[in-house]
Amino acid sequence: MNGPMTLTVKFSGPKGVKSDGTGIQWKGKYAPHKDVLQWNTIFNETGNLQITVCSSEIPTQGTVYEDAWIEVSENKANPQYPFRTMFTKEDKAAKSAGGGKNFGGAKPNYTLEQEAYRDSRRDAIAAISAGLVGSDGSTKKMDIVDIRKVTAVFMADLLAAGKKAE
C-alpha cells in the first residue's frame, strides 16, 4: 500500500455496470469491504487511473479523503491491469486488525530484506517463465541453482533501489 495521502474525487461510477447500463454492480469480497458496493473512481491526484472505492453511496465529485491509502494487488486474469483499491485510515486499521485476505490475522511483519527476497523471487520466476535471454541473445535454460542466482541479483537490485529512495 502507499499513503497516507489526500485524494479528491474527480469522477465515480458503479463498478461492474457497463456503459449501456447492463451488468450488476460489484460488491467487495473481503473485509473490511465485504458486501459493500464498489465504485470505479478517478481522483484528481491519480491522473486517469481508475481506483476502486468501496462505499454504500457513490463517491461524489469533490469528496476529499484524508489519510487514504491505495493498495495495488495482482490481477491473475489480466496481469497488465492490477487491482487498485482505496482504503481509508479506518479501513486500513480494520484490515490489519483482523479482516484482511489472511482470514483474521494481522499481516506478518517482514523485514526489508525478507520483502525484497520475496519480491525478487516472484520477479525471477516471472522472468524465467518468460525466458531469460543472455547477453549473446540465446534463451537460458534455468535450474534451481540458476534461479537462486537470479533471485539474489534481483534482491540486491531491489535493496539498492530502496536505499536510493530514502
Rounded Cα distance, 53 and 84, in Å = 9
pLDDT in tens, the chain (166 residues): 477 889 999 999 999 888 888 889 999 888 888 899 999 999 998 888 889 999 989 999 999 999 888 888 888 888 888 888 998 888 887 777 654 444 444 455 667 667 777 777 776 666 666 666 777 877 776 677 777 777 777 777 767 766 655 4
Rounded Cα distance, 10 and 27, in Å = 21
Rounded Cα distance, 19 and 72, in Å = 25
Rounded Cα distance, 152 and 146, in Å = 10
Helix/strand/coil for 31: coil
Quick check: pTM over 0.85? no
Which residues of the chain form beta strands (DSSP E)? 2-14, 38-43, 51-54, 64-73, 83-87
